[in-house]
A and B are shown apart, each in its own frame.
Chain A
Amino acid sequence: MILDFNTAAIVAIACWATGSLLHLFALRTPALKLPAVVMTLGGSAVMAGFIAIYWSALGRPPLRTLGETRLWYAALIPLVGFLVESRWEIRWLKYYCMALAAFFLGINMLHPDVFDKTLMPALQSPWFIPHVVVYLVGYVLLAASSLTALHNVYLELRSKKNENGASVSHYLALLGFVFLTFGLIFGALWAKEAWGHYWTWDPKETWAFLSWLAYLGYLHAFRYKIENRKLQWYLALAFVVLLVCWFGVNYLPSAQNSVHTYQQS
């Protein structure tokens, strides 16, 4: 195969690592700021490029296996870190995001995917890409929200100053919720076309509904002005439900007949 995932992953991780170091040095030497930004963005660009080439080699969207969704995740999550930095001037989040991206690429290197071009008929639908991509963007935003909330909890426990923290975790959760809602409804509309009904309480649907309820609960608790300390704990933990939904479901007893279990190869 012409494509070498390991090379692409190592180059991307190297970009993020050098970019991060340059960012730290840039605190003293502002001239390094530009190369730092270029390197960190470069890491995501490498992953985006790999996804594009992989897509064309497979002849189908690389969104079918768990490993393939991790590729997208790794490409997208650093971007959220950069977005948060440019909007709220919070600098630390991007390091966590890049570390998380590297971690996901690491998993893929340890468990290489089987190169498989086939796509079962039910997945051959115009809904396939919007449904999965919208969900991945939602997951990425909510992961960042959860990281920020965890950071806020930590700062709170150490009684440190924390200015924008709570509003960042809140707005990331809000945007993430919007994407989850779209993902859920796109999934329902697709299910009607592919399986005949928009909702069948398939285990993945049940867990997606649960994650959606978790964030619906958060938004109402926020609206009711529940103590901020509790809200940050809530957001930090809510992501666990999403993780179960993303890959935990495959291991649950209820999921043996699910239409959503990713192919294990």
Chain B
Amino acid sequence: MVVVRRRWFQAPWDFKESILFAAVALIAGFAIQYAASGSGITLPRLPFNAIALTLFAVMTLGAGLAFRNNPLVKWLGGIPLGLCLIFAIAVLSLVGGIVPQEAAAAGSLSAQFGLNQIFSSWPFALSVLLFLGNLGLSLSWRLIPFKVQNLQFILFHAGFWIALSCAIFGSSDLQRLIVPIEIGKANNFGYTMQSDTPQPLPFSIFLHDFSLEEYPPQLLLYDPHSDKLLMNRAQAIIEVQKGTTATWKGIEVLVLDYIPYATPGTDGVPVAADRSTGVPYAKVRITTAAAPREVWISTGGPKIKPDAADLGNLYLIMVPGTPKSFRSAVTVQDGKGNDTMANLEVNKPVSFMGWKLYQMGYDEKAGRWSKLSLVEVIHDPWLPAVYLGFFMIMAGNILFFWNGIKRSKVAS
């Protein structure tokens, strides 16, 4: 049998033309990026982005349905082009996964071709737009006429189309501002990550209190010569509690007593104090080759210097535990009489008039004595649309799983 190789652009178009098309899109994207001397894309905001997206969707669906038998349209919505565009997006993501996505020296190769901000670059935008077109066309043919067996396809592909397009077209409407607030004060200005200019907010946040809870302090053995911490025998982080033991080579430590909040006493014995002034103290018995001895050590605090146990060329030290949780008690109010009291905590954001408020950070140098709380406020009007896409993908996914299981049985 003689295999006749299909010539370039001989109908029906297939992979060769798709590879060329995707490659041209990438090259054109990089060329535009270079011509625009590295500046990315600025998208229009509501309502213009919504209008543009609707027009794009209508045009794609319209073209798919009106020209469903046209060979060019078929190819544009076909798997070969889809695969090549997936590959193009993957290549760009690979760049984004390797090159740090942060400010690069102006004029550097990375900055001129937008490699350091690949996900807002022209080649990425172009590939995604073409991919959405391809996806939209393939979707139009499954949507009309509707068949139940196409439901899985429709949910997954339409979900992906909605999530991807709304996330990208809606990114210009996303507002993320960081609001620094001191205890007992209110603030109605926020800052973006990029600029120092305060932006007014449609509400103010009053900080009643900031509190931080730590894990128990840790015992560590410090070697000042090598500036290293020595790992103990049990390969464990040693949380200080009454009765805790720890063993290093030739050194045994037993915690005899532990006071979470105390201040230094006159005779070297610490005195229990309240949370706001006290620091953790522990009485430890240290057994080495020499006679065992008992000392008080402490983590220290803003006004109390730390106490370590001197073991000749090593030091047994106690450091504060890592943060376990931190929260801000706030009152949020707008000028129209709406107000709410809330506790903001990591992973527990609070909604207020279309905004979401997040506990973001605090003055890390001050630790649990921080008088400052950083609250991030976010407004994303496109979120419901993106979530709709997510849930459609998941629903399609469940059907895909179910069908896969069913079919795999037939195959065996």
CB of A214 closer than 8 Å to a CB of B: yes
Contact at B100–A253, with CB atoms within 8 Å? Answer: yes
CB of A96 closer than 8 Å to a CB of B: no
CB of B226 closer than 8 Å to a CB of A: no
Q: Which of A44-52, A154-162, A186-194 contacts B (4 or more CB under 8 A)?
A: A186-194
Distance A197 CA – B174 CA, assembled complex (angstroms):
9
CB of B335 closer than 8 Å to a CB of A: no
B160 and chain A: residue at smallest CB distance:
A216
Shortest C-beta distance, B18 to chain A (Å), equals 11
A206 and chain B: residue at smallest CB distance:
B97
Contact at A188–B347, with CB atoms within 8 Å? Answer: no
Q: Report chain B residues within 8 Å CB of A117.
A: 215, 237, 239
Total A-B residue contacts, Cβ distance less than 8 Å: 140
CB of B40 closer than 8 Å to a CB of A: no
Contact at A213–B90, with CB atoms within 8 Å? Answer: yes
Q: Contacts A116-B237, A203-B97 given: A220-B408 contact, CB under 8 Å?
A: no
Of the candidates B346, B358, B378, B397, the one whose C-beta lies within 8 Å of that of A124 is: B346
Contact at A112–B83, with CB atoms within 8 Å? Answer: no
Distance A253 CA – B215 CA, assembled complex (angstroms):
31
Distance A125 CA – B325 CA, assembled complex (angstroms):
12
Q: Contacts A196-B176, A210-B90, A216-B86 given: A125-B347 contact, CB under 8 Å?
A: yes
Contact at A118–B100, with CB atoms within 8 Å? Answer: no
B214 and chain A: residue at smallest CB distance:
A118
Shortest C-beta distance, B167 to chain A (Å), equals 6
Contact at A254–B390, with CB atoms within 8 Å? Answer: no
Contact at B325–A196, with CB atoms within 8 Å? Answer: no
Q: Report chain A residues within 8 Å CB of B97.
A: 203, 206-207, 210, 249, 252, 254
Contact at B235–A114, with CB atoms within 8 Å? Answer: yes
Q: Which of A21-29, A71-79, A173-181 contacts B (4 or more CB under 8 A)?
A: A173-181
B84 and chain A: residue at smallest CB distance:
A217
Q: Report chain B residues within 8 Å CB of A189.
A: 390
* Contact residues of A between 189 and 229, Cβ < 8 Å to B: 189, 192-199, 201, 203, 206-207, 209-210, 213-214, 216-217, 220-221, 223-224
Q: Report chain B residues within 8 Å CB of A164.
A: 411-412
CB of B381 closer than 8 Å to a CB of A: no
Distance A185 CA – B156 CA, assembled complex (angstroms):
13
Q: Report chain B residues within 8 Å CB of A254.
A: 96-101
Contact at A217–B87, with CB atoms within 8 Å? Answer: yes
Contact at A118–B321, with CB atoms within 8 Å? Answer: yes
Contact at A220–B347, with CB atoms within 8 Å? Answer: no
A219 and chain B: residue at smallest CB distance:
B400
Shortest C-beta distance, A232 to chain B (Å), equals 16
Q: Report chain A residues within 8 Å CB of B96.
A: 201, 206, 254
Q: Contacts A118-B321, A174-B400 given: A185-B394 contact, CB under 8 Å?
A: yes
Distance A89 CA – B412 CA, assembled complex (angstroms):
8
Q: Contacts A171-B404, A254-B99 given: A178-B376 contact, CB under 8 Å?
A: no
CB of A30 closer than 8 Å to a CB of B: no
Shortest C-beta distance, A116 to chain B (Å), equals 4
Shortest C-beta distance, B181 to chain A (Å), equals 17
Q: Report chain B residues within 8 Å CB of A174.
A: 400, 404, 408
CB of A256 closer than 8 Å to a CB of B: yes
Shortest C-beta distance, B304 to chain A (Å), equals 24
Q: Report chain A residues within 8 Å CB of B236.
A: 1, 114-116
Of the candidates B167, B393, B412, the one whose C-beta lies within 8 Å of that of A199 is: B167
Shortest C-beta distance, A169 to chain B (Å), equals 11
CB of B326 closer than 8 Å to a CB of A: yes
Contact at B349–A167, with CB atoms within 8 Å? Answer: no
User: Besides the contacts A220-B82, A249-B97, what 7 more A-B pairs have beta carbons closer than 8 Å?
Assistant: A118-B321, A120-B323, A121-B346, A193-B349, A213-B89, A216-B86, A254-B99
5 A-B pairs with C-beta separation under 8 A: A117-B237, A122-B347, A210-B94, A213-B93, A254-B99
